[in-house]
Structure 1
Amino acid sequence: MVSVSRRSLLALGAALPLLGRLDWAVASPPPAKVDKVRLNYNESPYGPSGAAREAMQGAIATAGRYPYGHMYALAALFAQQQGIAEDQVAVFSGSMAALRYAVLAFTGESRGLVMAAPSYEVPRQAAESNRASVHEVSLTAEHAHDIPAMLAADPQAGMLYLCNPNNPTGTLTPTEAIRHALANKPQGSVLVVDEAYIDFADAPSCVSWVKEHDDLLVLRTFSKIYGMAGARVGLAIGAPALLARLAVFVVMTIMSRQLGSDL
């Protein structure tokens, strides 16, 4: 199972003890006054639920220890709920870290990235830092992913990124279109489906598909619907071999920080 770096566990540790159950995500009552609603961050101005806040406060007493046990418990519970194997789930310090590692793992100078435009900018930034070509395909007139155009954009692509619902348009990609992308993407490439906003949509998740596809990676986060953007808790779901490729960059991040540089 993939673990996050020890440094990134500081924020993660405060949140994980409350994740032994996933039924506390009832939104807390709106506070008397919300100072700011920062739309550009897509974060909840209300924060985590009352039960989550209480659990975080209770976790302060154990904050001196790394929360590996809680990480494994979270992965095991999520896997049980989704009907998948525990080794198909990895916990990260937010899904953005998992997404960035995926780009670094699956793209390079000879394998490019294909994504929609506009969409979440982190994959493009990570690919550019990895000297990988980036092929941004404009959305359709309905502001949806143009799957046929994305499939044709780069025959040597190492990764196709699909944000569903898309950020920033909020549009959904139909399930059959995602299946078409998975079946017809360039050979050897990985389809990454970012489901950061899936809880806000009446749409099925792709998580269960990882049981049948070893070239699919699905990302989930507690930042949005659970109001825990500052806690940094995210999940990557996929074949153990894919998660192992992400883990390489977790180790590299630790080493680069120890050497005073950045990945």
Structure 2
Amino acid sequence: MFNFMKLVQNENMKIYRRPRTYVMLGLLLALIAAISIIGYFVDDNHTASAWSMIMTEVMISYMLVTVFTIIIASSSVADEFTSGTIKLLLIRPWTRSKVLLSKYIAVLLYALGMVVVMLVFTVILNMILFGYTNETASEVISPLVSGSVMAYLLKYSFLKYVSLVVTTTLAFMLATVSRSGALAIGLSLFLILGVNSFSPLLASLKYKWADYILFIHLDLTQYLNDTPMRDGTTLGFSVLVLAIYYAIFVGLAWYVFKKRDVAA
């Protein structure tokens, strides 16, 4: 176990040793700061609250975190093939499964770290600028939502992270199968940003098989407001569909990586 954790640590070092990691984090925080500061100075009537700004920025930031995580996930495996360092990994006393798992865990930890930093920075910055207000979720989000805004934010962030894990796994699988970071990034972004834009259209299909389309279930936050894209679907059903796709993505990535002559 200790040796495996060292392997995960090594993969984390590869991620955080690269300047692009900090550039992406800087872009994320700069975007959040810009929205908050602009909102503070243009809100002459003081209609904006800290919580409304926080929810708006978190919704926007999650899309950016998804894009950045796709880039990291796609390059994690593909860059090893491009540089030829995959051979050095495989001559060490670690199985291929452990090598791939360490990369996968490092990517998920990166995604989690980005989400945590984003949430903490957003909350603190807006509380400083706009001050704390004791608002409910029904006042900030929708009359259909009850409870505190903080509880809603935590639920929203958790459900978004579940979707982020599935999306990251898809990009990781594509990079492992294709051994091309550019192809994996391009295809992942096309599927997530392009095809996902047509989710409402896909959800309107009158066929039973449409219940199992991945993109209809990726946004689990639709159930927070009790507004599912497709009639009859529930949070549990969407989680089950995502779990099936997740198992397929993981299984395919590990099968290809173990069978392919990666050291050639």
The TM tier, using the shorter chain, reads under 0.3
* Larger strand share, 1 or 2: 1
Larger Rg over CA atoms? 2
- In terms of fraction of residues, the more helix-rich structure is 2
TM-score computed with the length of structure 1 as normaliser: 0.26
